[in-house]
């Protein structure tokens, strides 16, 4: 049965990485238009503030001062997610 050990271990890591990816990496309340992931400068124009919650998968959930919620960035998937998980745990 040891012929399947690698597959079982990879699946275990995959499940752990998927759970880890939903964890919060950082929370940032700001009115800056210069964040590296920011492709919506209109959210902070005129001194408006936003709340950015960055997740371990690289995505950012932004809540604007008008209570609009936007997802920024592309979440890591597949091998990229596994690599990030192994590197950061």
pLDDT by residue for the chain (89 residues), tens digit each? 577 889 999 999 999 999 999 999 999 999 998 888 889 989 999 999 999 999 999 999 999 999 999 999 999 999 999 999 999 98
Domain that holds residue 33: 2-88
Question: What's the domain count of the chain?
Answer: 1
Residue 24 in contact with residue 55, Cβ under 8 Å?
Answer: yes
| Distance (Å, whole) CA 89 – CA 85 | 6
Determine the Cα–Cα distance for residues 18 and 4; give it in Å rounded to an integer: 21
- Report whether 80 contacts 69 (CB < 8 A): no
Give which of 55, 53, 57 is closest to 17, Cα–Cα.
Answer: 57
pTM score, whole prediction: 0.86
């Amino acid at each position: 049965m040891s012929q399947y050990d690698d597959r079982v271990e990879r699946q275990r890591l995959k499940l752990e990485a998927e759970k880890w990816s939903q964890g919060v990496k950082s929370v940032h309340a700001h009115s800056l238009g210069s964040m590296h992931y920011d492709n919506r400068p209109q959210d902070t124009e005129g001194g408006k503030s936003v709340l950015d919650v960055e997740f371990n998968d690289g995505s950012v959930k932004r809540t604007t001062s008008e209570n609009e919620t936007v997802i920024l960035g592309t979440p890591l998937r597949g091998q990229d997610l596994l690599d990030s998980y192994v590197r950061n745990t």
